[in-house]
Homo-oligomer: A and B are copies of this chain.
């Protein structure tokens, strides 16, 4: 599953935003999402599953609770893809700045 397939859903993006501010247990995520999207507990749980299985979130089991944390590693795939377009909106970066902006990552195959 491609990173974009995960991030295309607004509920999943919102969950990731919540997790970016710190870990949350499932029930808390359900509460917060429901105030914004009016979907069921089941629907949120299914989104959490997608995030888990795609590597965007990790879970710690705490008894009956599940504590979710973000794992941003797969977002790098998106960021790397965007890199090839970065010069279009940041045309004035020096070569050095560009290296910094690219996080000094290894260049990979296109």
A37 in the interface (beta carbon within 8 A): no
Copies in the complex: 2
CB distance from A39 to the nearest CB of B (A): 18
B86:A70 contact, CB within 8 angstroms: no
Docked-complex contact B7 and A4, CB < 8 angstroms: yes
Q: Which of A1-53 contact B (CB under 8 A)?
A: 2, 4-5, 7-8, 10, 13, 16-17, 20
8 contacts across the A-B interface (CB closer than 8 A):
A2-B10, A4-B8, A20-B85, A20-B88, A72-B86, A72-B88, A79-B82, A101-B101
Residues on A close to B: CB < 8 A? 2, 4-5, 7-8, 10, 13, 16-17, 20, 70-73, 75-76, 78-79, 81-82, 84-86, 88-90, 93, 97, 100-101, 103, 110
